[in-house]
Amino acid sequence: MNRYRLKILIAGAALLFSALGAAAQDTIKAADSINTKTTIWQRLKQDALYMGGGVIHVYTGPLRWKKDDLATLGGFAAGSAILFASDRETSSFMRRQKEDMPETLNDIGWSMGSPGYNYAITGSVYLFGVISNNEKFRKTGVLLFSSAAASGIMQTAIKNIAGRSRPDKERGAFHFSPFSSDAGDHSFPSGHAMLSFTTAYAISKQFKNPWVKAGIYTAGLITPASRVWNGAHWLSDVGVGMGLSVLVVESINKYLKAKESYTPDDKKKVSWNLTFGHERIGIVGTF
Protein backbone atom coordinates (compact mmCIF):
# COMPACT_ATOMS: atom_id res chain seq x y z
CA MET A 1 0.00 0.00 0.00
CA ASN A 2 2.88 2.37 0.77
CA ARG A 3 4.43 1.83 -2.67
CA TYR A 4 1.06 2.46 -4.27
CA ARG A 5 0.62 5.75 -2.42
CA LEU A 6 4.13 6.87 -3.36
CA LYS A 7 3.44 6.14 -7.03
CA ILE A 8 0.17 8.06 -6.80
CA LEU A 9 1.95 11.04 -5.21
CA ILE A 10 4.65 11.12 -7.89
CA ALA A 11 2.13 10.67 -10.70
CA GLY A 12 -0.11 13.41 -9.30
CA ALA A 13 2.77 15.88 -9.11
CA ALA A 14 3.89 15.04 -12.64
CA LEU A 15 0.39 15.48 -14.04
CA LEU A 16 -0.02 18.80 -12.24
CA PHE A 17 3.16 20.32 -13.62
CA SER A 18 2.66 18.86 -17.09
CA ALA A 19 -0.78 20.45 -17.26
CA LEU A 20 0.59 23.80 -16.13
CA GLY A 21 3.37 23.58 -18.68
CA ALA A 22 1.06 22.77 -21.58
CA ALA A 23 -1.20 25.67 -20.64
CA ALA A 24 1.39 28.28 -19.88
CA GLN A 25 4.39 27.17 -22.00
CA ASP A 26 6.47 28.84 -19.34
CA THR A 27 10.06 28.63 -18.14
CA ILE A 28 10.69 29.42 -14.49
CA LYS A 29 14.09 30.12 -13.05
CA ALA A 30 14.33 27.85 -10.01
CA ALA A 31 17.88 28.47 -8.83
CA ASP A 32 20.85 30.66 -9.42
CA SER A 33 24.38 29.72 -8.60
CA ILE A 34 27.24 27.49 -7.64
CA ASN A 35 29.92 28.65 -5.27
CA THR A 36 32.88 26.25 -5.11
CA LYS A 37 34.50 27.81 -2.02
CA THR A 38 32.58 25.77 0.57
CA THR A 39 32.54 22.03 1.23
CA ILE A 40 29.38 19.94 1.61
CA TRP A 41 30.10 19.58 5.35
CA GLN A 42 30.35 23.36 5.75
CA ARG A 43 27.06 23.84 3.93
CA LEU A 44 25.36 21.25 6.12
CA LYS A 45 26.59 22.94 9.29
CA GLN A 46 25.54 26.39 8.09
CA ASP A 47 22.11 25.18 7.00
CA ALA A 48 21.54 23.32 10.27
CA LEU A 49 22.17 26.56 12.16
CA TYR A 50 19.67 28.43 10.01
CA MET A 51 17.08 25.67 10.36
CA GLY A 52 17.34 25.89 14.13
CA GLY A 53 17.37 29.67 14.00
CA GLY A 54 14.24 29.68 11.87
CA VAL A 55 12.35 27.53 14.38
CA ILE A 56 13.47 29.76 17.26
CA HIS A 57 12.46 32.84 15.24
CA VAL A 58 8.90 31.50 14.98
CA TYR A 59 8.50 30.88 18.69
CA THR A 60 10.07 34.17 19.74
CA GLY A 61 7.88 36.04 17.24
CA PRO A 62 5.41 37.39 19.84
CA LEU A 63 8.28 39.33 21.42
CA ARG A 64 8.59 41.31 18.18
CA TRP A 65 4.89 41.87 17.48
CA LYS A 66 3.74 45.37 16.60
CA LYS A 67 0.35 46.95 16.10
CA ASP A 68 -0.06 45.49 12.59
CA ASP A 69 0.77 42.02 13.87
CA LEU A 70 -1.87 42.30 16.58
CA ALA A 71 -4.41 43.34 13.93
CA THR A 72 -3.47 40.26 11.89
CA LEU A 73 -3.87 38.10 14.98
CA GLY A 74 -7.32 39.59 15.59
CA GLY A 75 -8.38 38.84 12.02
CA PHE A 76 -7.07 35.30 12.33
CA ALA A 77 -9.03 34.77 15.55
CA ALA A 78 -12.23 36.15 13.98
CA GLY A 79 -11.87 33.90 10.93
CA SER A 80 -11.23 30.89 13.16
CA ALA A 81 -14.38 31.66 15.17
CA ILE A 82 -16.46 31.69 11.98
CA LEU A 83 -15.05 28.30 10.98
CA PHE A 84 -15.80 26.86 14.42
CA ALA A 85 -19.38 28.11 14.22
CA SER A 86 -19.90 26.35 10.87
CA ASP A 87 -18.20 23.07 11.77
CA ARG A 88 -21.29 20.93 12.28
CA GLU A 89 -22.90 21.91 8.97
CA THR A 90 -19.73 21.83 6.88
CA SER A 91 -18.65 18.48 8.29
CA SER A 92 -22.04 16.94 7.59
CA PHE A 93 -22.01 18.26 4.02
CA MET A 94 -18.44 17.17 3.27
CA ARG A 95 -18.85 13.69 4.72
CA ARG A 96 -21.86 13.11 2.46
CA GLN A 97 -19.57 13.68 -0.53
CA LYS A 98 -17.11 10.98 0.50
CA GLU A 99 -18.59 8.22 -1.66
CA ASP A 100 -18.30 10.41 -4.75
CA MET A 101 -14.62 11.20 -4.19
CA PRO A 102 -12.05 9.17 -6.18
CA GLU A 103 -9.93 6.89 -4.02
CA THR A 104 -6.89 8.34 -5.77
CA LEU A 105 -7.52 11.72 -4.13
CA ASN A 106 -7.66 10.05 -0.73
CA ASP A 107 -4.31 8.38 -1.37
CA ILE A 108 -2.72 11.60 -2.60
CA GLY A 109 -4.13 13.52 0.36
CA TRP A 110 -2.84 11.00 2.89
CA SER A 111 0.60 10.79 1.26
CA MET A 112 1.15 14.54 0.99
CA GLY A 113 0.33 14.98 4.67
CA SER A 114 2.35 12.01 5.93
CA PRO A 115 5.79 12.88 7.35
CA GLY A 116 7.58 10.04 5.56
CA TYR A 117 6.45 10.98 2.06
CA ASN A 118 6.59 14.71 2.73
CA TYR A 119 10.14 14.67 4.07
CA ALA A 120 11.22 12.57 1.09
CA ILE A 121 10.22 15.46 -1.19
CA THR A 122 11.77 18.05 1.11
CA GLY A 123 14.95 16.02 1.44
CA SER A 124 15.28 15.66 -2.32
CA VAL A 125 15.04 19.42 -2.81
CA TYR A 126 17.55 20.12 -0.07
CA LEU A 127 20.08 17.44 -1.07
CA PHE A 128 20.11 18.70 -4.64
CA GLY A 129 20.88 22.17 -3.31
CA VAL A 130 23.65 20.97 -0.99
CA ILE A 131 25.37 18.66 -3.47
CA SER A 132 25.29 21.21 -6.30
CA ASN A 133 25.75 24.11 -3.86
CA ASN A 134 22.78 25.75 -5.49
CA GLU A 135 21.75 28.68 -3.33
CA LYS A 136 18.06 28.81 -4.14
CA PHE A 137 17.47 25.08 -3.74
CA ARG A 138 19.40 25.14 -0.47
CA LYS A 139 17.35 28.03 0.85
CA THR A 140 14.13 26.33 -0.23
CA GLY A 141 15.21 23.14 1.54
CA VAL A 142 16.07 25.04 4.71
CA LEU A 143 12.72 26.85 4.55
CA LEU A 144 10.88 23.55 4.08
CA PHE A 145 12.64 21.70 6.89
CA SER A 146 12.47 24.50 9.45
CA SER A 147 8.83 25.30 8.61
CA ALA A 148 7.85 21.62 8.90
CA ALA A 149 9.66 21.32 12.24
CA ALA A 150 8.14 24.50 13.69
CA SER A 151 4.60 23.65 12.55
CA GLY A 152 5.01 20.04 13.68
CA ILE A 153 5.95 21.02 17.21
CA MET A 154 3.12 23.54 17.25
CA GLN A 155 0.35 21.22 16.10
CA THR A 156 1.46 18.39 18.39
CA ALA A 157 1.40 20.66 21.44
CA ILE A 158 -1.94 22.26 20.59
CA LYS A 159 -3.79 19.04 19.77
CA ASN A 160 -2.62 17.38 23.00
CA ILE A 161 -3.62 20.38 25.09
CA ALA A 162 -6.97 20.93 23.34
CA GLY A 163 -8.06 17.28 23.16
CA ARG A 164 -10.76 17.99 20.57
CA SER A 165 -12.84 15.03 19.46
CA ARG A 166 -12.76 14.04 15.80
CA PRO A 167 -15.97 14.22 13.74
CA ASP A 168 -16.15 10.46 13.15
CA LYS A 169 -16.36 9.92 16.93
CA GLU A 170 -19.82 11.56 16.80
CA ARG A 171 -19.34 13.51 20.02
CA GLY A 172 -20.03 16.92 18.52
CA ALA A 173 -17.88 19.82 17.39
CA PHE A 174 -17.31 21.19 20.88
CA HIS A 175 -16.29 18.07 22.77
CA PHE A 176 -12.86 18.60 24.35
CA SER A 177 -10.81 16.29 26.58
CA PRO A 178 -7.62 18.24 27.37
CA PHE A 179 -4.42 16.18 27.56
CA SER A 180 -6.20 13.02 26.41
CA SER A 181 -3.95 10.26 25.04
CA ASP A 182 -6.74 8.96 22.79
CA ALA A 183 -5.99 9.61 19.09
CA GLY A 184 -9.71 10.24 18.65
CA ASP A 185 -9.27 13.36 20.78
CA HIS A 186 -6.46 14.83 18.67
CA SER A 187 -8.49 16.62 16.04
CA PHE A 188 -7.42 20.26 16.45
CA PRO A 189 -5.48 21.29 14.48
CA SER A 190 -4.93 18.88 11.59
CA GLY A 191 -1.32 17.72 11.41
CA HIS A 192 -1.74 16.37 7.87
CA ALA A 193 -3.22 19.66 6.68
CA MET A 194 -0.49 21.72 8.32
CA LEU A 195 2.34 19.64 6.89
CA SER A 196 0.98 19.47 3.34
CA PHE A 197 0.09 23.16 3.15
CA THR A 198 3.34 24.24 4.82
CA THR A 199 5.19 22.45 2.03
CA ALA A 200 2.96 23.79 -0.73
CA TYR A 201 3.12 27.37 0.54
CA ALA A 202 6.90 27.28 1.02
CA ILE A 203 7.47 25.91 -2.49
CA SER A 204 5.02 28.40 -4.05
CA LYS A 205 7.09 31.29 -2.67
CA GLN A 206 9.92 30.29 -5.01
CA PHE A 207 7.83 31.05 -8.11
CA LYS A 208 6.48 34.28 -9.55
CA ASN A 209 4.17 32.80 -12.17
CA PRO A 210 0.59 33.06 -10.77
CA TRP A 211 -0.55 29.93 -12.62
CA VAL A 212 2.21 27.86 -11.09
CA LYS A 213 1.39 29.29 -7.65
CA ALA A 214 -2.29 28.45 -8.14
CA GLY A 215 -1.42 24.90 -9.16
CA ILE A 216 0.78 24.39 -6.10
CA TYR A 217 -1.90 25.82 -3.79
CA THR A 218 -4.49 23.49 -5.37
CA ALA A 219 -2.25 20.49 -4.76
CA GLY A 220 -1.74 21.64 -1.17
CA LEU A 221 -5.51 21.78 -0.62
CA ILE A 222 -6.10 18.11 -1.47
CA THR A 223 -4.98 16.89 1.94
CA PRO A 224 -7.05 19.36 4.03
CA ALA A 225 -10.18 18.66 1.96
CA SER A 226 -9.74 14.89 2.15
CA ARG A 227 -9.34 15.02 5.93
CA VAL A 228 -12.71 16.77 6.22
CA TRP A 229 -14.72 14.52 3.89
CA ASN A 230 -13.21 11.44 5.56
CA GLY A 231 -14.47 12.64 8.95
CA ALA A 232 -10.96 12.81 10.44
CA HIS A 233 -11.12 16.58 11.03
CA TRP A 234 -13.52 19.52 11.24
CA LEU A 235 -13.25 22.40 8.79
CA SER A 236 -11.84 24.62 11.55
CA ASP A 237 -9.12 22.02 12.24
CA VAL A 238 -7.77 22.27 8.71
CA GLY A 239 -8.52 25.98 8.28
CA VAL A 240 -6.67 27.01 11.42
CA GLY A 241 -3.88 24.57 10.56
CA MET A 242 -3.42 26.12 7.13
CA GLY A 243 -3.46 29.62 8.60
CA LEU A 244 -0.76 28.67 11.09
CA SER A 245 1.26 27.14 8.23
CA VAL A 246 1.23 30.45 6.35
CA LEU A 247 2.30 32.38 9.45
CA VAL A 248 5.15 29.94 10.13
CA VAL A 249 6.48 29.99 6.56
CA GLU A 250 6.27 33.79 6.35
CA SER A 251 8.13 34.17 9.65
CA ILE A 252 10.98 31.84 8.67
CA ASN A 253 11.21 33.23 5.15
CA LYS A 254 11.59 36.74 6.61
CA TYR A 255 14.31 35.43 8.96
CA LEU A 256 16.27 33.84 6.09
CA LYS A 257 15.99 36.99 3.97
CA ALA A 258 17.34 39.09 6.83
CA LYS A 259 20.39 36.82 7.11
CA GLU A 260 21.23 37.31 3.40
CA SER A 261 23.26 34.11 3.45
CA TYR A 262 21.90 32.49 0.30
CA THR A 263 23.12 34.88 -2.39
CA PRO A 264 24.47 34.10 -5.87
CA ASP A 265 28.16 34.30 -6.81
CA ASP A 266 28.10 36.19 -10.10
CA LYS A 267 31.72 35.38 -10.94
CA LYS A 268 31.15 31.68 -11.38
CA LYS A 269 27.68 30.43 -11.80
CA VAL A 270 25.41 27.89 -13.32
CA SER A 271 21.85 29.01 -14.00
CA TRP A 272 19.43 26.19 -13.31
CA ASN A 273 16.05 26.49 -14.97
CA LEU A 274 13.00 24.41 -14.17
CA THR A 275 11.40 24.17 -17.61
CA PHE A 276 7.78 23.38 -18.41
CA GLY A 277 6.47 22.95 -21.91
CA HIS A 278 4.32 20.79 -24.12
CA GLU A 279 5.14 17.14 -23.25
CA ARG A 280 8.31 18.10 -21.39
CA ILE A 281 9.43 18.90 -17.87
CA GLY A 282 12.95 19.06 -16.49
CA ILE A 283 15.85 20.98 -14.95
CA VAL A 284 18.31 22.59 -17.35
CA GLY A 285 21.69 23.98 -16.29
CA THR A 286 23.20 26.83 -18.34
CA PHE A 287 26.94 27.55 -17.95
**pLDDT above 70: percentage of residues in the chain:** 78
What is the mean pLDDT of the segment spanning 21-36? 40
Beta strands per DSSP E along the chain: 27-31, 271-277, 280-286
What number is the average pLDDT over the span 54-75?
92
CA distances from 44 to 28, 122, 203, 225, 252 (A): 27, 15, 20, 36, 18
In this predicted structure, what is the pLDDT of residue 5? 53
Structure confidence at residue 135 (pLDDT)? 86
Judged against a pLDDT cut of 50, whether residue 22 lies above it is answered with no
Q: What is the pLDDT of residue 237?
A: 97
pLDDT digit string (tens) for 184-235?
A: 999 999 999 999 999 999 999 988 899 999 999 999 999 999 999 999 999 9
Mean pLDDT of the chain: 83
Which region among 97-111, 155-169, 269-283 has the lowest average model confidence (pLDDT)? 269-283
- Of 34-43, 79-88, 147-156, the poorest mean pLDDT is in 34-43
CA distances from residue 117 to 7, 49, 76, 125, 217 in whole angstroms, order as listed: 11, 24, 30, 13, 18
pLDDT at 65 over 60: yes
Can you give the pTM of this predicted structure? Answer: 0.79
CB-count exposure of residue 39 (10 Å: 0-12, 13-18, 19+): exposed
Q: Are residues 241 and 189 in contact, defined by beta-carbon separation less than 8 angstroms?
A: yes
Q: How far is CA 39 from CA 54, 123, 139, 261, in A?
A: 23, 19, 16, 15
Put residue 278 in one of left, alpha, beta given phi > 0 → left and psi -120 to 50 → alpha. Answer: beta
Q: 21 versus 144: which is more confidently predicted?
A: 144
For 141-181, the DSSP string reads HHHHHHHHHHHHHHHHHHHHHH-BPPGGGTS-TT-B-TT--
* 55 or 20, which is more confident: 55
Residue-level pLDDT at 190: 96
